[in-house]
Amino acid sequence: MLIREAHNQDIDHLVAIEELCYDNPWPREAFEEEIEREDVGIGVVAEDESLVVGFLTGMAVVDEFHLHNLAVHPDFRGRGIARCLLEAIESLCRQRNLRRILLEVREDNEAARHLYLGMGFKAEGTRKDYYSPGKNAYMYIKHLGSE
């Protein structure tokens, strides 16, 4: 398994995995904007034998990283890939002197919530109807110490 920074050439793979993982997937243009904005966009992918099997993308906003998207291909879950992607992004955030990682997660997404709690994130409130009426989000945050 190789974890590396995401490039424009990965966008087809990101879109394909996104469509497998979500009922309302992010459109291609959203990934293009995030990955092509090298000043603030930060993304990493996981490769298994040259095949992209997972990704994490987001944006640096002042001294924070806003995590917008994390997904692992269903055939490759449960192998620690999401954990490795989060570790890699944390390391990149520290290199850029970012102080926090923020994200929203659906309140019924047990797998993701376990993942984030296990990685040291804390729930810091909720956003009612964030995804659609009745679909609330938890806001999670991780403060990056100076390790």
| 19: amino acid identity, one letter | E
- Residue placing its CB nearer to ligand COA in the complex, 20 or 97: 20
Q: How far is the CB of 145 from ligand COA (least distance, A)?
A: 21
| 36: amino acid identity, one letter | E
Q: How far is the CB of 127 from ligand COA (least distance, A)?
A: 13
CA–CA distance from 60 to each of 7, 38, 107 (Å)? 17, 10, 24
- Distance from C-alpha of 9 to C-alpha of 98, rounded to nearest angstrom: 26
Q: How far is the CB of 117 from ligand COA (least distance, A)?
A: 7
Q: How far is the CB of 124 from ligand COA (least distance, A)?
A: 15
- Residue closest to 45 by CA, chosen among 94, 9, 75: 9
- Residue placing its CB nearer to ligand COA in the complex, 39 or 128: 128
The dihedral sign for the CA sequence 112, 118, 119, 121:
positive
Would you tell me which residues interact with ligand COA (CB under 6 A)?
21, 70-72, 77-83, 105, 109-112, 114-115, 118
Phi and psi torsions of 7, nearest 5° = -125, 170
- Residue placing its CB nearer to ligand COA in the complex, 97 or 124: 124
- Residue placing its CB nearer to ligand COA in the complex, 11 or 88: 88
